[in-house]
Amino acid sequence: MQYTALNIQYSGWRWSPVGNGELLESGSVIHSQSYSQWRLAKEGEKHDGSLALQEAKPELKRPPLFKVVLINDDYTPMEFVVEVLETFFRMNREQATHVMLTVHTKGKGVCGIYTRDIAETKAAQVNQYARENEHPLLCEIEASEG
């Protein structure tokens, strides 16, 4: 775990390792295994003191994104594909028709880009709905490039 030195507003005070002349600026990161070796000291002072610590905020990054892709087949009616796109991906008729034509002409088409859990759920819902309606329509997920 990491800790961050608290911002102390006293003129001339700095974080300093015990027995060392170096100074640690307020806001610097201190690793937990070494925090007991640091103290708040007035510049030039050489006595023991206690250390005020604040847990550092974890670094966050965006989750990876995945494309939900419909795969073309020779048996699923175009109108059913449009219905799926309107129902599960909240597309209007024009958008759904455009994606359906892309699937039909290029072999596959992207329905949307989501985090992994959402993409897997949407693909599973589409596949289940297609099976319930006795269509071989296949929906998969692929990693997105960005």
Based on the domain organization, do 84 and 108 belong to the same domain? yes
As for how many domains the chain has, the answer is: 2
pLDDT of residue 32: 43
pLDDT at 72 over 60: yes
Residue 38 C-alpha from the chain's centroid: 35
Cα–Cα distance measured from residue 84 to residue 86, given in angstroms and rounded to the nearest whole number: 5
The pLDDT of 102-130, averaged and rounded, is 98
Based on the domain organization, do 42 and 81 belong to the same domain? no
Give the tens place of pLDDT for each residue, 96-107: 999 999 999 999
Based on the domain organization, do 41 and 102 belong to the same domain? no
Q: 134 near 75, Cβ under 8 Å? A: no
pLDDT at 52 over 80: no
Quick check: pTM over 0.85? no
Interaxial angle between packed helices 78-89 and 116-132, expressed in degrees from 0 to 180 and rounded to the nearest 10: 140
| Inside any domain, residue 60 | no
Based on the domain organization, do 121 and 74 belong to the same domain? yes
55 pLDDT band (50/70/90 cuts)? Answer: confident
Query: What's the sign of the alpha-carbon dihedral 89, 95, 99, 100?
Result: positive
pLDDT of residue 145: 86
pLDDT of residue 23: 47
Rg over CA atoms, the chain:
29
146 pLDDT band (50/70/90 cuts)? Answer: low
Cα–Cα distance measured from residue 143 to residue 34, given in angstroms and rounded to the nearest whole number: 41
pLDDT of residue 53: 63
Based on the domain organization, do 50 and 87 belong to the same domain? no
pLDDT at 111 over 50: yes
Based on the domain organization, do 30 and 69 belong to the same domain? no
Based on the domain organization, do 70 and 138 belong to the same domain? yes
Based on the domain organization, do 86 and 44 belong to the same domain? no
Based on the domain organization, do 111 and 47 belong to the same domain? no
Q: What are phi and psi of 139, to 5 degrees?
A: -120, 130
Looking up residue 120, the CATH number of its domain turns out to be 3.30.1390.10
Based on the domain organization, do 104 and 122 belong to the same domain? yes
What range does the domain containing 9 cover?
2-55
The pLDDT of 114-143, averaged and rounded, is 98
